[in-house]
Structure 1
C-alpha cells in the first residue's frame, strides 16, 4: 500500500509538472492556441508520448501568470493507450517571486483527473521515463493558496503479484500549503482493491503537518472514517478521532482524546471494539498517561462475548515505566451456559528498549450451566508474559485449573510480522464436555467450496502436545501425544499416538496448499468397533420417491491424499481385518484405490471412484474370492408370507449413475452357489444393465444380461442361457424342490413391467426353453405304476395324489419350449424318452401360471415294448397306449394324477385280464367295457341282480341329516372292485 501511494504521488507530480511546463511555454506567446501542435510535437519528441490538448487555452500574464486549460490527456510511453488525463485545470502564479526562486500559486483547481499506474513483472513502471533527471533539481520555496480536486481517480496494477488498487470519486480541498507548515485538509473517496479485498468509502478531515526533514508528524482535530467491506469483514465501520503529535526518532509522543470505534460482520459474527486513550505524554525523561480502556464485543447467533480491559495510570521514565496494573472482566453467554471472569496483573516496561512485562497475571472463572453435575464450576488461571518489541520476541508461561481439568505450558514467539511460535502444552486431564457448551447453532451445510486457510502461511509453529485423558461427548481419549509443525508451506501433525475408546491410533496428518487446502494423512488403527459410533435409532426411514439426483457437492471442497489401515473392524455381526484404504481427491474426482479387506470369510480387493459430485458418477472394479450373501440377509419368519402387492421402489436407481465390473470366485445367493461370477454394471438416467452377467453354475455355465428401467413404471428385461447345468441340485438349492433332475440347457428371454412384485410376475412375457438328458421326473413313477397292474389291476383309481418323493420317472431326454404371456407360460411341445414311455411333441399341453404360482398341465406318455425281463412280456399288449398324467397344484406343492380308468379300459381290451380267469375276469371286462354294469357287478360279487335300494328315512336323530344320494350301479361296482382287488 505504501508503494501504491508513492507511485501515485509520482504519477500526479509528473502530470502536474508537465502541465506547469506547458503553461510556461504557452505563457511566453501571445496566441497560445497557435502553438498547440508545437507543444504536442515537443512532448512526442522528448518523451515519446502523445499529448492531446482539447479546447481553447486561456492565459493571464500580469501580475500573475495563469492558465485555464480544457481537456488534457497523455498516452503511455511509445503506446497510444491513455496514461493520464484531466477534464480541466486552472492555475495561476505570481511572476516576480519566480526571480527569487519562490513559487507563489493561487488556488489550483483540478477536475476529472485520472491516472493509471502499472508496475510490470520486471519491476519497471509505466512512468519511469517521466521521472528521469537530465539535470539536478534546485530547491524552490513554494506557497500555494490551496488545492481543490474534484471527481478524480487513480488506479495501480502490479502485474507481478496481480494486485490491483483503485481510488475513485476522489475529492480534496486544502487550505494554505507551505513547506513545514500545517495544512487543513478535507477529502473523501472510494477505495477498491483485491489484495486485500477492499470495497469501501472513506473520508478524512483535520489539520496535518508532515515535515520529512525533522521527521515530525502532527494531526490535530483528526476525524477519519471508513465504511465498507475490508479486513476480511462485511459492513465494517471504523472511526478515529483525536490529536496526535509524534517524533518517532526521539520517541516523543503526545496523544490527546484519542478514540477508535469499529464494528463489522466477520464470519457471521458481529464484532465491535472501542478504545479510549484520554492522555499519553511520552517525553525524553518522563512518561505519563491516564487510564486507557478497551472494550471488545462479539455476537453470533444469540451467543455473546464481552471483554473490558483497563490499563491504569502510567508513571515513570522511558527506561522504567510502571503501572498499578492491567485489569479486565470477561463475560460470555453460549446457549444456557454463562461464563464470567476477572483478571489483573502488574505492568512494567522500557520505552527505549521496548521491553514490557506482565509478571503475574492471575484470574478466576465462574461457569454456570444446568447441564453440569453441580450446575456450574469455578476455575483459576495464571500467566506471565515478557515481550521484546524491538527484537520481536515474546514468551509466556501459563496454567489453567478448572474443575478436574489441568492445563499448563509455555509459548515463545519470534518475529511479529511472521510469527514463529514454539510451544509445549501438557495436561493430565481435559474434560471438554464441561469446558465446551453445546452449540445452539444449526449446522450449516457445506458450500462445496474449499476452506481458505491462507492465513496459516504467515504462521510458523513448532511444538508438542501431551494430554493424559480427554472426555468429549461419549468418547474417551487417552495418551494423546503429537508434534505440531508449520513452516509456511505445510502444517503437519507427526508422531500422532492416541487411544480413542478401545482403538489405538498412530500416524500423521498434514495440510498444505492453504488457499485450496490439500489434506494428507497416514493412519494406523489397531481395532475399531463401529457399533459404538453407529446410530442406535431404529426408526424406519420412509423410502424417498424424490427423483432428484444424489448431491455430493460437499466433496468439491475435499482435496486430500492419504491412506488408512485398520487391523480389525467390527460392525454388527460382520468382522473385517487387514483393511487398507488409499484415498485421493482433488475437488473434481475422488478415488479409493486400493480398497482391500478380509471381511468375514471374503477377501475383497477393489477400487472405487466418484466424479461429477452434484450428480455423482460412480466407477468401480471389485474382486472377491468368495462371498456368502445369505449370511448378510435377514431371514424373515417362515410363517410370514411375502406381500406380492408391496410397491416396488426404484427411486434410488433414478439417482444412480455408475459403471464398473465385479468378479467373484465363489458366490452364494438365495442358497444358489455359483463360481467365477463376472458382472458388468452400467447405470445411467434411471436404467441399469448387468452385462456381462455370467458364472459357472452347477457343473455348467450361465451367461446373459439383466436390464432394469426405473424411469416410469418399473420394468425388467432378463435374458439368460444356462448350458450343461445339473437341474436337480439347482432346484433343490433355489426353491427347495426336488421335482426334476437331469443335465442340460435352459434359455430364458423375458420382459415385464409393474409397480409391484405381483404385477411384474403377472406381466411376464417372452419365451423359455429347456433340454435335459439322463434325468427324472420326481414324485411319480409311471413305469412302476404300470408294473403294479400285473398284480393289482388298479383300473378304478381316479383320485389325484400328492407327490411321493420316493418315486420317480426316469428319462433319457426331455425337451420343451414355452411361450410366456401375461405371466403364463404355455407349452405344447413337451417331448420325453423313458424306459417304457415315449412323450412325443404335440401329445401334451398345459400352462404354468407364474403370477399365481400354479400348474395345470396334461401329459400323455405312450407305453413302449421296453419293459423286459421277468413278466415284462405281459405288457406287450399295452404297447402304443397313452397314459394321461395330470399335473396340478402349486409350485411348492405340486400334485400328480394318473387316469387309471382309461388304463383299465385298455386293459379290458387286452389279454392281461385273461390270466385272472373265470367269471371275475369276464365281469371286469364287462364292467370296464360296454357290457351290462349291474349284471357284471353281480357276477363279480357272486350275487343276484341288486333290487331297488330306495328305503324309508329313519326317525332317529340322524334323520335331521340330509339323505345321501344313492350311488349308481357303476359306482357301487367300483367300490366293491376296490375291496376285491385289495386296493
Structure 2
C-alpha cells in the first residue's frame, strides 16, 4: 500500500511538473493557443509521450500568473494509449517567488483527473521516464495556498504482485501546503482492490504538518473513517482518531489519545473491536506507553465471546524496554459449550533487533460442556514465547497439563506474509474419545455435507506428533508417531506408526485438496490380533486370528460415501490360529449328514455370533476397483476343512456377495459330533450375502446331496470292483492249480 501511495504521489508531482512547464512556456506569449503544436512537440521530444490539448489555454498575467486549461491528456511512453488526463485545471502562481526558485501557488483546482499506473513483472513502471533524474538541479520549494481536486480516478495495475487497485470519485481539499506549516486537509474517495478483495469508502479529516528535508510527518486531530467490505468481512465500519507524529526513516513514532473502533460482519457473526492507547512513544532513546487496552466482542447465532487484551505501562529505551504484565482474558459461550481463560506474562522487547519476548507465560483454560467428563476440561499451560520481526519468526515453547495428559510442545511460525508453521509435540497419554460427544443416531437420514479442505490449500506446515498411549475411536495404541508435511494443497503423514493389539503398524497417508479431494493410504499391520482390533473399531465380533494385513488404496470424493465408492487399490491378509465368527461349518455339515435325505434346495440361516469356524491358516488378497473389493484366491486351512472362494465386497454399499467352497478333508469327530465318512472329500458351497450388519449364509443342499450321492456311488463302485477282482483271482488259482 505504501508503494501504491508513493506511485500516486509521484504521478501527481510529475503531472504538476508538466503543467508548470506549460505555464512557463506560455507565460510570455500573447495567444498561448498558437503555441499548442510547439508544446506538444516539446513533450514528445523530451518525454516521448503524446500530449493532447483539446481545450483552449487561457492565460492571466496580472496580478498573478494564472493558467486555465480545458481537457488535457498524456499518452503512455512511446505509445498512443492514454496514461493520464484531466477535464480541467486552474492554476494561479505568485510572480516574485519564481525568481527565487520558489513556487508559490495561490490555489490549484483540478477536475476529472485520471491516471493509470502500471508496475510490470520485471519491477519497472510506466512512470519511470517521468521520474528519471537527467541532471542535478536544486530542489524547487513550493507553497500552495490551497488545493481542490474533484471527480478524479486513479488505477494501479501491479503485474508483479498480480493485483489491481483503483480509486474513484476522489476528492481533496486542503489549506496552505507549505513545508513546516500546519494545514487542514480532507480526503474522500472510493477504493477497490482484488487481492485481497476490498471495496470501501474512505474519508479523512486531519491537521497535517510535513518537513520534507527532515522527513517528518505529523497529523493532528486525525479522524479517519472507512466503510465497506474486505477479506470476507462485510459492513465494515473502521474509525481511528488521535494525534500521530512520525519519522519513518528513523522509526520514530508518537501517538496521543489514539482510539479506534472496528465493527462488521463475518457471515452471521457480528464483530466489534475497540482500541484505547492514551500515549505511545517509540524512539531510539525512549520507549514509553500508558496502559493499552484492546477489547474484542463476537456475537454469534448461538453464543458470544469476549476477549480483552491489556498491556501494562511500558518503559525503557529502544534497545531494552519492558512491561510488567500482558494479560489476555477470554470468556465465551456457544450452545452448551462455555470457555473461560486467562493468559499472563511479563513482556520485553528491543526495537533495534526487533525481538520481543514473553518470558514467563502462564495460561489457564476451562472448557465446560455437560457431555465432558466431570462436565468440564481444564488446561494449564506454562512456557515462553519469542518473536523476531527481522527474521519473521515466532516461537513458543510450552508444557501443559490436560486432565491426565502431560504435553510438551515446541511451536513456531516464519514468513508472516505466507506463514510456514512448525511443531514438535509429545504427549505421554491421551484419550481422545473422552472429549468427543457420543454420536446420536439421526431420526431421519440427512444429506452428507461435502468436506471443506479449503484451509489445506494455503497451509504450509511441518512437524511431528508423538503419543505414548493413545485411544481414539475406541482403538488403543502405543508409541504413536506422526510426521506431517503440508505444502501446496497436499498433506503427507509419513510415517504413521504405532504399536497396537500385540503387533505394530506403519505406513503413510496423503490428502490433496483439489475441487474433488484425493486420498491415498499405504498401511501395514504386522503380528496384530485382528479380533480385538475389529471389535474395538466396529463393535462387531467377526474374525479372530493374528498376522499381517496390508493395504495400498486411493480414493477421491467430497463426501465419505463418494470416497468409499471410488476406493481403488490392493489389500491382503495372512492370519493364523483364528476363527470366522457367525457360522460353524463343522456343525452345519454334521447336521447336513443327519438330514441329508430330507434337506433339499438352498437353506438360509442368519449369522450367529455364538458360532465360529476355526482355522489354522487364512490367506486372501483383494483387488479393489471403484469401491468393490474382489477376491478369488481365498485359502483357509483347518484339520477338518479347506476353504476357497470367489466374490465381492461392496465397500460403497457396505454389503457382501461371496461364494465360499468348503471341502471336508478330515473327521467331524471332535467338532461336536460323530465321524462323517459320508462327507469326506465333498465340497460344500456356502454363499455369504447381505449388508455387513445383517449377513446371511446360504448352503446349497441340493449340491451337497448330489456330491454325497456321487461319493457313495464311487464308494460302491470301488467296493464291487475290489470284490470282483478278489473272485477272479480265486478262479484263476483253481484253473491253474496254484
Cα distance change of structure 1 residues 40 and 595 upon mapping to structure 2, 3 Å threshold: farther
Shift of 1:196: 1.9
Matches of 1:209 and 1:419 in 2, distance apart? 37
Matches of 2:514 and 2:279 in 1, distance apart? 43
Indicate the SS of the match to 2:687.
helix
Deviations 1:488-536 (A, max 9, x none): 6855322111468899653223456x78697563421538877876799
Shift of 1:392: 4.2
Does 2:23 match 1:20?
Answer: no
Answer yes or no: is the 8 Å Cα contact 1:450–1:557 preserved in 2: no
Does 2:169 match 1:169?
Answer: yes
State TM-score, norm by structure 2. Answer: 0.70
1:223 aligns to what? Answer: 223
Matches of 1:81 and 1:71 in 2, distance apart? 16
Matches of 2:336 and 2:87 in 1, distance apart? 63
Cα distance change of structure 1 residues 297 and 433 upon mapping to structure 2, 3 Å threshold: farther
1:466 aligns to what? Answer: 466
Indicate the SS of the match to 1:30.
coil
1:259-270 correspondence to structure 2 within 5 Å: 259-266=259-266, 269-270=269-270
Answer yes or no: is the 8 Å Cα contact 2:645–2:658 preserved in 1: no
Cα distance change of structure 1 residues 378 and 489 upon mapping to structure 2, 3 Å threshold: closer
Indicate the SS of the match to 1:374.
helix
1:5 aligns to what? Answer: 5
Matches of 1:125 and 1:324 in 2, distance apart? 49
2:34 aligns to what? Answer: 34
Does 2:454 match 1:451?
Answer: yes
Cα distance change of structure 1 residues 350 and 34 upon mapping to structure 2, 3 Å threshold: closer
2:310 aligns to what? Answer: 310
1:682 aligns to what? Answer: none
Shift of 1:113: 0.7
Shift of 1:484: 2.3
Matches of 1:266 and 1:363 in 2, distance apart? 28
2:85 aligns to what? Answer: 85
Shift of 1:119: 2.9
State TM-score, norm by structure 1. Answer: 0.54
Cα distance change of structure 1 residues 23 and 535 upon mapping to structure 2, 3 Å threshold: farther
1:523 aligns to what? Answer: 522
Cα distance change of structure 1 residues 631 and 606 upon mapping to structure 2, 3 Å threshold: closer
1:796-945 correspondence to structure 2 within 5 Å: none
Cα distance change of structure 1 residues 118 and 56 upon mapping to structure 2, 3 Å threshold: same
1:763 aligns to what? Answer: none
Instruction: Tell which structure's C-alpha radius of gyration is larger.
Output: 1
Indicate the SS of the match to 2:374.
coil
Shift of 1:222: 1.6
Answer yes or no: is the 8 Å Cα contact 2:489–2:514 preserved in 1: no
Answer yes or no: is the 8 Å Cα contact 1:453–1:516 preserved in 2: no
Shift of 1:111: 0.9
Match of 1:631 among 678, 681, 687: 687
Indicate the SS of the match to 1:17.
helix
Matches of 1:604 and 1:215 in 2, distance apart? 82
Matches of 1:472 and 1:236 in 2, distance apart? 42
Matches of 2:158 and 2:405 in 1, distance apart? 52
Number of aligned residue pairs: give it: 604
Indicate the SS of the match to 1:28.
coil
Matches of 1:562 and 1:253 in 2, distance apart? 60
1:506 aligns to what? Answer: 506
**Which has the higher mean CA deviation after the structures are superposed, 111-120 or 349-358?**
349-358
Does 2:46 match 1:51?
Answer: no
Answer yes or no: is the 8 Å Cα contact 1:169–1:190 preserved in 2: yes
Answer yes or no: is the 8 Å Cα contact 2:456–2:490 preserved in 1: no
2:484 aligns to what? Answer: 484
Cα distance change of structure 1 residues 307 and 277 upon mapping to structure 2, 3 Å threshold: same
Matches of 1:335 and 1:511 in 2, distance apart? 32
Indicate the SS of the match to 1:14.
helix
Does 2:283 match 1:277?
Answer: no
1:652-667 correspondence to structure 2 within 5 Å: none
Does 2:463 match 1:407?
Answer: no
Matches of 1:105 and 1:267 in 2, distance apart? 50
Matches of 2:409 and 2:472 in 1, distance apart? 21
Indicate the SS of the match to 2:26.
helix
Indicate the SS of the match to 1:49.
coil
Matches of 2:339 and 2:110 in 1, distance apart? 58
1:79-228 correspondence to structure 2 within 5 Å: 79-228=79-228
> Runs of 5+ in structure 1 lacking a partner?
537-551, 583-590, 611-621, 636-667, 673-731, 737-983
> Runs of 5+ in structure 2 lacking a partner?
541-556, 575-579, 584-606, 608-617, 635-643, 663-683, 692-696, 707-738
Shift of 1:629: 11
Matches of 1:602 and 1:488 in 2, distance apart? 45
Matches of 1:292 and 1:78 in 2, distance apart? 54
Shift of 1:572: 8.4
1:362-401 correspondence to structure 2 within 5 Å: 362-401=362-401
Deviations 1:907-950 (A, max 9, x none): xxxxxxxxxxxxxxxxxxxxxxxxxxxxxxxxxxxxxxxxxxxx
Matches of 2:78 and 2:385 in 1, distance apart? 59
Shift of 1:71: 1.5
Does 2:621 match 1:578?
Answer: yes
Greater RCO, CA 8 A, separation 6+: 2
Cα distance change of structure 1 residues 4 and 499 upon mapping to structure 2, 3 Å threshold: farther
Answer yes or no: is the 8 Å Cα contact 1:40–1:52 preserved in 2: yes
Matches of 2:621 and 2:179 in 1, distance apart? 81
Shift of 1:596: 5.7
Matches of 2:264 and 2:619 in 1, distance apart? 52
Matches of 1:137 and 1:517 in 2, distance apart? 63
Shift of 1:104: 0.5
Shift of 1:241: 1.8
Answer yes or no: is the 8 Å Cα contact 1:430–1:470 preserved in 2: yes
Answer yes or no: is the 8 Å Cα contact 2:474–2:536 preserved in 1: no
Matches of 1:350 and 1:185 in 2, distance apart? 35
Answer yes or no: is the 8 Å Cα contact 2:510–2:521 preserved in 1: no
Shift of 1:475: 5.2
Cα distance change of structure 1 residues 180 and 24 upon mapping to structure 2, 3 Å threshold: same
Deviations 1:184-216 (A, max 9, x none): 221121111222221222222212334453242
Matches of 2:310 and 2:237 in 1, distance apart? 24
